[in-house]
Structure formats: structure tokens, C-alpha cells
Structure 1
Amino acid sequence: MDPIAHHTHTPDVSFDGGDLDCGNGLLLLIRRHIDPLPRGGLLEILSSEVSVDEDLPAWCRLTRNELVSWTKVGRQRSFLVCKGTLAERAAAPQTAPAPTQAAPTLPARRQPVPAPAIPPLAVMGIGSWPRPRWMVEAMHAHVEGRLAEQAFHETADDAVRLAVAAQERAGVDVVTDGEQRRDSYASFVASRLDNCQLIPLTDLLPLVDDPEEFAAELRALDIPAGEVRHPAVFGPLVRSRPLVAHEVDFARTVTEKPVKVALPGPYLLTRTMWMECISDQAYDSREALAQDIVRVLREELADLLDAGAALIQFDEPVLSEVVFAGAKNKRSFMCGALSESLGPDHELGFARDLLNAALAGFPRERTALHVCRGNWTPDESVALSGSYAPLVTTLSQVRVGAYLLEMCTPRAGEMEVLRALPDDARLGVGVVNQKHAAVEETDAVAARIAQAIDLFGRERVLLHPDCGFATFADNPICAGGTAQDKLAAIARAADRFR
């Protein structure tokens, strides 16, 4: 498209990107301004950077937003972009986006809330639960600035009530809130931290070395790049409100059972948030970013313990990518970790040290670590595969009270390998596979439980599915009814050993 003398349409919103290029923050500014607009809304982008002439039209094609026109006077450029297509603007009257409300400030806790003990052979989910369609729609509207904070949480409260009730009907001993307020198990953190935001994966394509190869990899891995959002850091991280403590506060009002909550681990967050093309504007290195991530997680851990969370689980599935991704050593989508790694020995040591720094000084018996091999698609053929053998040394060095591990799928190898883990830690064993549509027979689940008891002792064993039922809100692994049936199968089998 050639430049014209004047735009024939009036923008609804305008901002000046100065001399920023798409790899140095301009795409973040575009996303921040275009998200709150309704379909058909017009955004004017002012820029003096010559590379934007090619990069912005490419971004528009990838994100399916229409470049309506652009002008050029000397170095100054003006791009008029329609959210969606201009035809959508003609089809509906434009209204200004509703202003978002500030997040409510939680009252300070004057004294810690006691947490109930978790018994041996306790049945629990890993974390996520399929979200109702209306919850997913509310989530998108909230992330894009079209739904106020209070209205979003009122909607999420209803979804949590349904998720908790389903788990209780299944007969679990420990509940989660189903992560109903999260767009995914990890990237949601970007919507809770200052100087961090969520951007669709399609926005990242112009920033990688080979956009076509990266896009092909996403398609091969069954990843909806237009729907899945990724955290992007554009300034020093600040935790001005809880990440998930408010989830525990509400969950405890709708159940008498112990409440477990999952947090993305410090290594996972470092791998997902560190992108050389964006993060290095705020941090000199990923190690510097990791220090702030550890600080934020320690602040959150203290809040969660005071809130009465019975078990706080760090999710670190990307450890599997470190040892099982093979010799390719390139970008991988594994669990959203897009940045490159520096080799297994270095990465495992880095992950161990970050986890121990986050956990130091907190009661070990109320902490857990979850590891799996990828849970974004029911297609087992694209997930990683391999025994825990390359990981047990690192896992053993993490000062955590329980390991909640994928074990039902053949991709996880033999259970006996886990005997190398510390004797004073509890072992959570995956005994149903959330990727399979069929619900496991009680006898088959009971056989896995019996094996775990023989290997680790009844007092140490906890029971759960291999992973969550809906890692990504837009891409759940299974339906809510199936999730409830699978937890019920674990509960029935566990009853044989009580």
C-alpha cells in the first residue's frame, strides 16, 4: 500500500511511538491502545522509524487487523489501523470503550489463617478446570480493557463456585479454584504485575529470527497463536497487588475442604518473560529479571500462607523441555517458554537455585513442585517424552515438601525412578491421564495407587491427574464433565486403601 496525502477516516484513538521499532516496544504500545477498542475501532499510530513501513503491514496481516491507510511527511509517518476490518466499523455504531476500574485493594491480614492438614492418599486436581464459555468471554473482555475489574471478578466468582462444586461432587479431599480467573496457568501473571502485559503470540512473530518457521512450529504443535497470550516485560516488575492470594480468599468462602493453589515457578516465569527483543529494555540480563521474579514470588508465598492455603504448588513443566527437547536447542513453545536455553546442566542448576531462593525460610510441608511434559493439546504425539531419570538429581536438591508428578502416561517412564527423591518428601502420583477422553477404570487406577504405596509408603502418597484439565482457557484439554468423572475415578480407587 502506498502512502496517501490525508486519511479519509478519523481515528478513535491516537498515540505517538516516536522512533521505536516493532522489536523495541512499539508493538507493546500498539497492543495497549488497540485492545480496548471495539471491533471496527480505528487507531492512529505516529512513527518516525523507517522500518515500521514494512513491519507494521506485516503485523496487520498476521493479526488480521486492517491497515486502512498511511501518510508520510519527511520522517513523520501516520498509520491508521482498524481493529478487525473496516466493514465491521460500518456494520455497528462506535462507542468509546468502558473505563476500567482500579483493582480493589485487599485488606491487610492481621493474623495468619490456619490451614488444615492434608491426609495421606488425598485426592486433588493439579490446578486448572475447564472454564464456561461465558467465563472465557469475560476474560478476553477484561484483558482487552472492555470489562471493569469488579464485573470480571463477579463473573469469575460464579465460575469458581461451579468448579469447586464439581470437584466436591467427585469426592476430592483438596480443592483448587480451577484457575478460573487465569487466561493460562502461567501467563496470567502479566495481568497482575506492574510493567508487564499480555500480548497474543501472533504479535511476537515479527520479532523472532524466522517468523515463518516459528509460525509453522506453532501450527505443528496445535497451538492457537491468535488466542494464546504471552507475558511481555517493559519495565521493572512491581507487585502492587496479589498474584493469586485473592483466589484463595474467595475459594475458602465456598468450601470447607483444604485449598491448594498453583503458582508458575521462578524458572518458568524467567523463561517465559525473558525475550531479548523486549525484556532487555528493562533488564540487563535474564538473571537480573529472575531476581525480581524470585522477590515477587516470595512476597506472594507469604500472602498465601497467611491466607490459609493448605498447599502452594510451583509449576515447573519447562524443566522437561530442558532435558527432553533433544539436540535442537532452539526456541520451543513448551509450556509457553519461548526463549532459548543454554544447555541442560546450566539450566537445571539455574532452575534449582531459583526455586530454592523462592522457597527459603517458608514451611516446607506446605509447598509442592509440579512437573509434566506439556499439556497444551490432547495430541500425545507432540508432547515431550522421557523418564524422570535426568531430572531426579535436580528435583532432589529442591527444598520442597511434595512432588506432584505426571506418571500415568507412558511418556513419563517408570515410577520406580522416583524412589531416588528424598524420603521425607511426599509423592503425588498422576493416576489418570487428562489427555484421554475415556475415563479410566477403577481397577486400573487402583493398581497404580497400589504400586505407589508399595514404592513410597502409604503416608507419603498423594493422588491426582497427570496435569490440569484446562492449561489454556481457550484450549481446554477436556470438558468439565469428563474432568469430574476422572477425579471421581481416583476417589473411588483411593477408597479401597482407606
Structure 2
Amino acid sequence: MSGDSVVRPPFRADHVGSLLRPAPLKEAREKYARGEIDAAELEAVENAEIERVIARQEAVGLKAVTDGEFRRSWWHLDFLWDLEGIEKNELSGGVQFAGIVTRGEGVRIDGKLGFSGHPMLDHFRFLQAHTRRMPKVSIPAPSAIYGRPHRPPINADVYPDLDSLFDDLGEAYRQAVRAFADAGCRYLQLDEVFIAMLCDERYRRQMIERGDDPDDLLRLYGRLINTAISDIPPDMTITMHMCRGNFRSTFMGAGGYDAVQEVLFGEIDVDGYFMEYDDERSGGFEPLRRLPRDKRAVLGIVTSKRGKLETRDGLLRRIDEAARFADLDQLCLSCQCGFASTEEGNVLTEDEQWAKLDRIVEVADEVWG
């Protein structure tokens, strides 16, 4: 056991953010889509269910709580659609996961990228007003606009070259992150799928085939993150969540962090890393040797993809394995991803979800006090 002095996030027992959508919320969203209720009625259901899920997280013992992403349909697109210059793009097909394809929705860039406010700022304010714990918000990392296997449509009259697009994207994100800070947010997470996907050889080949250099993309995505968080107050914590895809308990990619470890740990200025480590797809813990002494890694060794509960002893063994490569005091514990990166959710029950969060708190208390 190690004495625990962590007062700033990431916390010893933490979680990525999204939670399974409860039945009343799903029903309300379906009714809204059919025109049977209006936006105010939908919001009333969202508010009630978010208050309920906040209380449940507090009861579990989590120090950071989220709104479960209950107002979103996707982990990334809802945020991107409300940036200036981005429009919703209806696609003929979705993104291929292991044995399943997502809904056919994406983005197109029709105008100059920018930020002039966002609905998720009010979503954060509601969360902050209804919890006694640290309110946490997750938004997609900047790479989410560009990292899907097929490039998004880009208006060439607005952006004849990609350099100017990425300059504007970084600035829009800098303003967005600062706006969350000004709203009172002190714990913000960037969900970074496409750096993690650069660990996957098949995905890297896809990037080459579409005309991009995977190593150049890695450094670009790192620079965009650094730009996004370049104007935060000193008491704000920024983490990044690494994920190789999470849709209805399936995945997009595989591969250890070795391919990205130099940039991940050496060039990106975040405070901590939520790292997917729930099965062999993520490789070994060896890259944690590069974890800077002033940063933390949150071990995602509990899976959100399956309902079977991890054993206490099994988790303790995995933490011990990771501690061979990074100081135990730099480590924390979580699920590898959220339980519902999209509104469909993963294939497990709400009871199984809460049992996993209970187990995370239980084991973290045992290890770190």
C-alpha cells in the first residue's frame, strides 16, 4: 500500500466519462427524434437523469464525476458540429469496427474554423451546479476532425492547403478550452483516438494510401493538443484518453504504444494519460518507462466492453506489473474507455457498469490508501 496524497486529478480511482444511457433517456431521445416531444421536454428528462447519475457516481466514491455524456449521441461529433465552419455530413456508410459498422455520420468543413461559444459550456455548468465533487468534462482531441480512415470533405475555396486548416483548428480549440476554464472547469480530458490508432499497422497503411504520413500525423496531433491547452490557468488539469475504438463493445485497432511513445510522453504537455490496457490489443506496459516523473498514467485495466467483473487479485497483479516500469505513485486506475462512447452503449448492464466502478474504487483504496 502507498500513502495517497493526490488532491488534483487524475485521481487514484477515476473514469473516462461516458456512462450507459438509462431507459428513460433513450425513450425521450427516440420521442424527440419522432417529433413527439419538444426540446424543452427532452432537456427536462436529460436533467433528471444526469442528476441521478451524478448522485450514483458520488455514492460509489468517485472524486471526479461527469454527466455521463447523456446529452450526446457521439463522443466526438456533437462537439465538432458546433464549431464554426463545420457542418454535419451524412455518409453512405459508417466506420468499420470489428464485425460492425457505425452510423453514417461525419463532418464536412465548409467555412473557416473558429469558436464563438458552444452548447457544452452550459452542459458543464449544469454538472458543476449539481455535484459536490470535481466536475469533469471530456471533449474530442483535435485529431477527431481528420483522423477517420477517409478524409472529411474540405471546401478548397476556404482551405486550399491543410496547413492553414490546422492552424485555425488549433486556435479554435485553444479558445474552446479557455472557454471551459472561464466557465469554471478545472478537469478537462481530450479523447485522443487517432494517436492510439497510429499504433495499428493496418490503420497506418490506410493513412499512407490516402496521402498522409503517419509519423507526420503523430507530431501534428501532438502540436494541436499543445496549442489547444496553451492558455489554461495554472490550477487546471488536462488529461488525454487513449483509445483504439469503442462502439457497441467492439474496436477499430490494435497495437502497443511503442510506435507513439516518443511523442506521447516526450512532446505532449498534458498532465496525465488514460491508457487503454484491458487486453492484449494494447501491448505491454514497457512504454511506461518513458512516463515523465511529473505526470500520471491511469491504467485502463478494467474493461468497459464486457460485463464480467474483474477480480481484486487480478487487478492487483496488473498494477504490480505496471509498477515495474513506472513508479506506483504515478499510477491510477480506471476502465480502459467509457461505457457508451456513442449513445448505443456497450454490451453490458447498468448493474455491471456500477459494479466495475465500485471495484475500481475498492482496489484503488487498497493500493494507494
Is TM (by shorter chain) over 0.5?
Answer: yes
Match of 1:126 among 16, 38, 41: 16
Measured after TM superposition, the shift of residue 229 of structure 1 is: 2.7
Change (3 A) 1:286 1:476: farther
Give the CA RMSD over aligned residues. Answer: 3.1
CA contact (8 A) 1:429 1:464 kept: yes
Q: Structure 1 residue 297 and structure 2 residue 200: aligned? A: no
Distance in 2 separating the partners of 1:146 and 1:351: 42
Measured after TM superposition, the shift of residue 424 of structure 1 is: 1.2
Change (3 A) 1:154 1:274: farther
Q: 3-state SS of the aligned residue for 2:57?
A: helix
Q: 3-state SS of the aligned residue for 1:456?
A: coil
Change (3 A) 1:274 1:312: farther
Change (3 A) 1:139 1:286: farther
Match of 2:91 among 204, 213, 217: 204
Q: Structure 1 residue 320 and structure 2 residue 231: aligned? A: no
The residue type equivalent to 1:376 in the other structure is F
Change (3 A) 1:288 1:482: farther
Q: Structure 1 residue 486 and structure 2 residue 356: aligned? A: yes
Measured after TM superposition, the shift of residue 304 of structure 1 is: 1.8
Q: Structure 1 residue 374 and structure 2 residue 245: aligned? A: yes
Compare relative contact order (CA 8 Å, sep 6+) and give the higher one, 1 or 2: 2
Measured after TM superposition, the shift of residue 493 of structure 1 is: 0.9
Q: Structure 1 residue 262 and structure 2 residue 141: aligned? A: no
Find the counterpart in structure 2 of residue 98 from structure 1.
none
CA contact (8 A) 1:401 1:425 kept: yes
Range 425-434 or range 188-197, more displaced: 188-197
Match of 2:221 among 328, 351, 367: 351
Distance in 1 separating the partners of 2:44 and 2:149: 29
CA contact (8 A) 1:449 1:494 kept: no
Find the counterpart in structure 2 of residue 223 from structure 1.
101
Find the counterpart in structure 2 of residue 183 from structure 1.
73
CA contact (8 A) 2:117 2:176 kept: no
Change (3 A) 1:269 1:464: same
For structure 2, the residue ranges without an aligned partner over 5 or more in a row are 1-5
Q: 3-state SS of the aligned residue for 1:313?
A: strand
Q: 3-state SS of the aligned residue for 1:351?
A: helix
Distance in 1 separating the partners of 2:47 and 2:283: 39
Q: Structure 1 residue 154 and structure 2 residue 44: aligned? A: yes
Distance in 1 separating the partners of 2:182 and 2:151: 34
CA contact (8 A) 2:197 2:243 kept: no
CA contact (8 A) 2:295 2:330 kept: yes
Cα deviation 1:287-320 (Å, max 9, x = unaligned): 3332232222212211222333232111111113
Change (3 A) 1:331 1:131: farther
Cα deviation 1:224-281 (Å, max 9, x = unaligned): 43xx532233322343322532222111222111122111111222335984545446
The residue type equivalent to 2:46 in the other structure is A
CA contact (8 A) 1:369 1:404 kept: yes
Cα deviation 1:370-390 (Å, max 9, x = unaligned): 1121111324xx542211111
Measured after TM superposition, the shift of residue 125 of structure 1 is: 1.4
Match of 1:405 among 267, 275, 283: 275
Range 394-403 or range 125-134, more displaced: 125-134
Cα deviation 1:434-464 (Å, max 9, x = unaligned): 1122011122123333444554334322221
Range 285-294 or range 307-316, more displaced: 285-294
Range 434-443 or range 150-159, more displaced: 150-159
Distance in 1 separating the partners of 2:164 and 2:259: 27
The residue type equivalent to 2:316 in the other structure is A
The residue type equivalent to 2:239 in the other structure is A
The residue type equivalent to 1:322 in the other structure is L
Find the counterpart in structure 2 of residue 387 from structure 1.
256
TM-score in terms of structure 1 length: 0.65
CA contact (8 A) 2:274 2:297 kept: yes
**How many residues are aligned here?**
361
Distance in 1 separating the partners of 2:203 and 2:149: 23
Change (3 A) 1:447 1:247: farther
Distance in 2 separating the partners of 1:469 and 1:229: 20
Measured after TM superposition, the shift of residue 400 of structure 1 is: 1.0
Find the counterpart in structure 2 of residue 135 from structure 1.
25
CA contact (8 A) 2:96 2:252 kept: no
CA contact (8 A) 1:428 1:462 kept: yes
Find the counterpart in structure 1 of residue 55 from structure 2.
165
CA contact (8 A) 2:141 2:192 kept: yes
Distance in 2 separating the partners of 1:326 and 1:495: 39
Cα deviation 1:177-228 (Å, max 9, x = unaligned): 11111111101124423443334xxx422xxxxxxxx67x748641243xx5
TM-score in terms of structure 2 length: 0.86
Q: 3-state SS of the aligned residue for 1:271?
A: coil
CA contact (8 A) 1:139 1:181 kept: no
The residue type equivalent to 1:374 in the other structure is G
Measured after TM superposition, the shift of residue 427 of structure 1 is: 1.3
The residue type equivalent to 1:434 in the other structure is S
Change (3 A) 1:477 1:342: farther
